[in-house]
Structure 1
Amino acid sequence: MSYPLPVLPDPAPATAQRWRRAFPGELVQARAARRFTTMLLDGCPLLDEVLLAVDELVVNALRHTKSGQPGGTFTVEIARWDAAVAVAITDEGAPSEPAVIDAAADAESGRGLRTVSFLATGWGWFGNDRSRTVAALFGMTLGEAA
């Protein structure tokens, strides 16, 4: 189930560390986004789940938004505090909205946001056809994030 953003508590905990990096809108940059995430979250017990989510969200941005068109870009933002991690991917927008779909069992795609929804405490998005952010929270309950 998606939730309204932001997934970070407001105000963010004093212990929160935040990083942001922009990437060219090329499919090979999904690997660079995973390396960026791995470097920042080295030793984090949530790393595997967060990496899978980052990969799914980046690939979705590249396949389904203007970020994947020539000259496009996307941004990865990571926040870590206490036992929690939040990731947000900002793309260049699309006319359609991100949604969890029921992909056929033999489908080669269509499971990205479903996977994120299973791994994360919660996820959500905001934006429009010019810019959109999809984010996921890991390692805390949504009641703690509110």
Structure 2
Amino acid sequence: MSLAMPESAPIVLEMYWQRTFPGRPEEARQARSFLRALLPTHPGLDDMLQVVDELVVNAIRHTRSGEAGGTFRVRVLTDAACIAVSVIDEGGPGRPVRRAPGGLAESGRGLALVAALSVRWFWSGSGRSRAITACFAAPSHPESSAGS
């Protein structure tokens, strides 16, 4: 049995970046700048910037990342079909919950925004650390207009 790829198979190039930020509110701007520098021409960049901002603010407000000396990480992984943007926090007492839109609450709708702007989202981890990841279609992928 041959393990060689057929000549017609596409070559998938993966790229991976990660940066750690201090867990302070002003670092949300730095996280957006990091993402903007990595993907300056992506057609869905505005949606990605809104999502990373929401996830960073959530990490700072709702986890130990926002405590004195806390940090959070932004991770970006790209391949031929997906750009995955993750915010990794230092964990907290609860689990991320997507609330239904509606009502008059001034907060609590962040993950609904993430779901609306991305192709899909998910979280993994524990009370010690967790990652929330939002996936966006790569520019050449058929789902590129999803979430826009």
Asked whether the two chains share a fold, i.e. TM above 0.5, the reply is yes
Contact 1:86–1:137, Cα closer than 8 Å, also in 2 = yes
Greater Cα radius of gyration, structure 1 or 2: 2
Equivalent residue runs for 1:1-146 within 5 Å: 14-82=12-80, 84-102=82-100, 104-139=102-137
Give a deviation string over 1:51-109, Cα, whole Å, max 9, x none.
11100111000000000000000000012233531101100001100011135543221
Contact 1:103–1:110, Cα closer than 8 Å, also in 2 = no
| Distance in 1 separating the partners of 2:127 and 2:16 | 26
AA aligned opposite 1:77: R
SS in 2 for 1:123: strand
Give a deviation string over 1:18-58, Cα, whole Å, max 9, x none.
10000000010000000000010100111011111100111
Which structure has more relative contact order (CA 8 Å, sep 6+)? It is 1
Q: Please, what TM-score do these two structures have when normalized by structure 2?
A: 0.81
SS in 2 for 1:27: coil
Could you tell me which runs of 5 or more consecutive residues in structure 2 were left unpaired when the two chains were aligned: 1-10, 144-148
Contact 1:103–1:109, Cα closer than 8 Å, also in 2 = no
Contact 2:14–2:80, Cα closer than 8 Å, also in 1 = yes
* 1:16 Cα deviation from its structure 2 partner: 1.6
Could you tell me which runs of 5 or more consecutive residues in structure 1 were left unpaired when the two chains were aligned: 1-12, 142-146
1:43/1:83 CA distance change after superposition, 3 Å: farther
What CA RMSD, in Å, does the superposition of the two structures yield over aligned residues? Answer: 1.6
SS in 2 for 1:114: helix
Contact 1:90–1:134, Cα closer than 8 Å, also in 2 = yes
| Distance in 1 separating the partners of 2:124 and 2:15 | 22
Tell me the number of residue pairs that the alignment of Structure 1 and Structure 2 aligns: 129
| Distance in 1 separating the partners of 2:14 and 2:43 | 16
